[in-house]
Amino acid sequence: MRSSHRARAVIPASRSTRRPRDGAVARVEAKKCPHCDAVVRARAWRSHLSLCAPDVLDGAHFERVEREVIRASVKRRHGERSTSYAVCAMRFGFARGSEPVVSARAVARALRMDARAVARAVRAEVDATPWGLEMDWTLGDDDIAYEDATMTVVNKRAGTPSTPRRRVGDDSAASACVARWRTVDGVQGASLVPYVAHRLDLDTSGALVICRTSARAKEVQGWFENRRVEKTYWALCEARGDASDDSGEWHTIEFPLVKRARDDAEPGTFFVEAVLTPEDAPEDAKPATTLFRIVSKSAAHVLVEARPKTGRTHQIRTHLAAAGLPIVGDTIYGAPSDIIDRHALHARTLTFPSDEYPVPIVAHPPDDFKDACASVGIVVDIV
């Protein structure tokens, strides 16, 4: 039986009781996702689209980047004299010197069409545009932790987004996966769609699950949501105070977390605050639990293995900082450093609740993580 101790807190507790402003969440009925057909509640709509249909969520950017690809696709599929071409030419600004017309209603008025027909035509041509075109980089065999006919576990590179931002010229792990599938399977067209089952922060490296079908994605997402996937992370941390116990015993951090807007950054930018005493927790605080142990240590640094039992945003980064173990290179919660140019956090293993997968699936840490550890006298054993 693993022993469990409450982590020592070394940062002040939050006493804020600020609540979300009125009207921050739109009160609308549930909608059906245009890609996976899942019925999604209003509160989860944007987060679901960011994983499943980012071109719907950020249409303006999609149009600017990919209108030439769409133009070629519409011309090939329908010809330049077709209604679809006329609609998309106005909507995406195909004509020389023209600008996109963002409103489907404006296009409908100009072409004397029904606005719903315009929307359907635009959606059909967007859906016909393949994912993963014109990638600046590709996935090699060393980037793959596990792969089968229904999903791929990528060893995501630090600085690479998890989810697609656009279909063409995208730099995300999901788009790179589609490009790999297209090469391996020899499949062309828009039939290959990436479904990202969970997310990693931009600068976190490691194991990321990308599914080939919506059915597999729903199953795997259910495992994550119901906490049936065991995840382990490695973090290189500064050791402050007596937080560097190297007995190998597991410790528990259970500080609630609350998301706060950052006043010193762009609108929509946030940070996460750990609330160290239950009586100080505001109404919007979320319960969070992280297990951790010290794997190795040097004079002033430790290699931590962390197992989040909940899936809160920035959970490990915030919890370890609250426990006196700020992650090296973390400029928001941890310890800015010149030995690594990102936060030293790596998603190392995933264990699924099924005998058909290896136990566990392992994503080995990248060179920048190992080099940072070596620079402070910690050798990373990747076996």
At residue 231, does pLDDT exceed 50? yes
- What total of structural domains would you count in the chain? 3
Q: Is 2 part of a structural domain of the chain?
A: no
Instruction: Answer whether 112's CB lies under 8 Å from 330's CB.
Output: no
Which of 190, 208, 224 terminates a domain? The answer is 224
Q: Is 19 part of a structural domain of the chain?
A: no
Q: Give the pLDDT score at 53.
A: 56
Same domain for 323 and 232, yes or no, is yes
Same domain for 146 and 102, yes or no, is no
Q: Give the pLDDT score at 339.
A: 95
Q: Does the N-terminal peptide bond of residue 326 adopt cis geometry, omega within 30 degrees of 0?
A: no
| Range 293-312 burial, b when 16+ CB lie within 10 A, else e | bbbbbeeebbbbbbbbbeeb
Q: Is 268 part of a structural domain of the chain?
A: yes
Same domain for 301 and 317, yes or no, is yes
Q: What is the mean pLDDT of the chain?
A: 80
Q: Is 21 part of a structural domain of the chain?
A: no
Q: Give the pLDDT score at 67.
A: 66
128-163 pLDDT per residue, tens: 776 666 666 788 888 999 999 999 999 999 999 998
Instruction: Answer whether 317's CB lies under 8 Å from 199's CB.
Output: no
201 is an active site residue: yes
Q: What is the CATH number of the domain that holds 365?
A: 3.30.2350.10
Same domain for 152 and 270, yes or no, is no
Share of the chain above pLDDT 70, in %: 72
Q: Is 216 part of a structural domain of the chain?
A: yes
At residue 328, does pLDDT exceed 90? yes
Going by C-alpha positions, the residue among 328, 222, 330, 324 that lies closest to residue 271 is: 330
Same domain for 213 and 235, yes or no, is no
Q: Which domain holds residue 331?
A: 227-375
Q: Give the pLDDT score at 375.
A: 96
At residue 320, does pLDDT exceed 90? yes
Catalytic residue among 170, 201, 203, 368: 201
At residue 348, does pLDDT exceed 90? yes
Q: DSSP string spanning 285-318?
A: -B---EEEEEEEE-SSEEEEEEEESS--TTHHHH
Same domain for 188 and 119, yes or no, is no
160-191 pLDDT per residue, tens: 999 887 666 678 999 899 888 887 776 665 56
At residue 282, does pLDDT exceed 60? yes
Same domain for 213 and 263, yes or no, is no
Q: What pLDDT band is residue 11 in, cutting at 50, 70 and 90?
A: very low
